[in-house]
Amino acid sequence: MPATTDALSGLRREYLRKQLQALRTRTQMLGGTRLSFDEESAALYDAVAPTHPDSYFQATLDDLDQRLPGTGPLVDRLEQFRQSFIIPKEKLPAVFSAAIAECRRRTMAHVALPASESFTVEYVTNKSWSGYNWYQGNYRSLIQVNTDLPIFIDRAVDLACHEGYPGHHVYNLLLEQRLVRERGWPEMTVYPLFSPQSLIAEGSANYGIEIAFPRDERVDFERRVLFPAAGLDPARAAEYYSVFALTDRLSYAQNEAARNYLNGRIDRAAAAAWLSRYSLSAPARSEQRVRFMDDYRSYVINYNLGKDLVKQYVEAHGGTASQPARRWEIFADLLRSPRLPSGLR
């Protein structure tokens, strides 16, 4: 149900307390304090990701081994398969524009957005992330897409939803609209990255992809629109997403690599090798992910654990796949509120 005025005030007090705790911890870390991976994520993001042994990922690797027959390491076979689904650089603007337009259309069918909202897209290089939203206030965002590495077709919808609609852009403008402009809460004009807010932001942005594009609808849209725009074979859309669904089950592998690397159990070369083996990311992508861990540390849990916590919260309040209107309602209300990760359980 939508949060009432009194409920929002209660959420606000606890939210401020946890945000300030995260700020204090981050300041101590910058001053030299060392925390374990789980201690850090608990203090900064109000959450601790589950620990999974290597065997947890092996069943998915076995499935992919059957799905991608051939010789050589599985990571190489997957990379060879994915080479047929790269968006040519010259087609990136057209593909992303089409993806953004559809993400926006689907979001606006359920969430009222300010008439003046907008964002611009830039293509950049030499970053440790694949995409970034720089919210600029007044319902506007700058979204940057990193082109250091080839961009596969799934990233068009993923980034358009995650960074834009109904992801970061919508999250930030709804907070500005409801909590800053309507209620006059000045603290919501500041977004400390290393704080519980990021788990809500990243988790809702990732879950927003699933809300905006249920699996069958996504495959249909990409087959009809994005594959042709990218010059890819539309007949292979379902094949691509059947493999994509399996690789997506390996998302928690990044947490384990980061936990072991940041706790000093393995070095950066071993972390990259572990990612290549258990998350099946090509060497260059694995090295980029380790760079991300160097820069953002335990932030990695916000994407997968964040998505799972947001999904559990929405579904627990009646927003199941069979009730799409209710799902959008609960999701949008979450975006407009100062709710903490621990409040999602």
Span 280-297, mean pLDDT?
A: 96
Element at 311 (helix H, strand E): helix 301-316
Residue 196 · residue 335 · CB < 8 Å: no
What is the pTM assigned to this prediction? 0.95
* 7-38 pLDDT tens trace: 888 899 999 999 999 999 999 999 999 999 99
Q: Which residues pair with 144 in a beta bridge?
A: 122, 132
Span 74-82, mean pLDDT?
A: 96
Question: Is it the case that residue 61 has pLDDT exceeding 70?
Answer: yes
pLDDT-derived band at 1 (thresholds 50, 70, 90) equals very low
Question: Is it the case that residue 4 has pLDDT exceeding 80?
Answer: no
**Measured between alpha carbons, how far is residue 150 from residues 89, 96, 107 in Å?**
8, 14, 28
Of the two residues 336 and 9, the one the predictor is more confident about is 336
* 224-250 pLDDT tens trace: 999 999 999 999 999 999 999 999 999
Share of the chain above pLDDT 90, in %: 96
Rounded CA separation 242/219 (Å): 10
* 250-265 pLDDT tens trace: 999 999 999 999 999 9
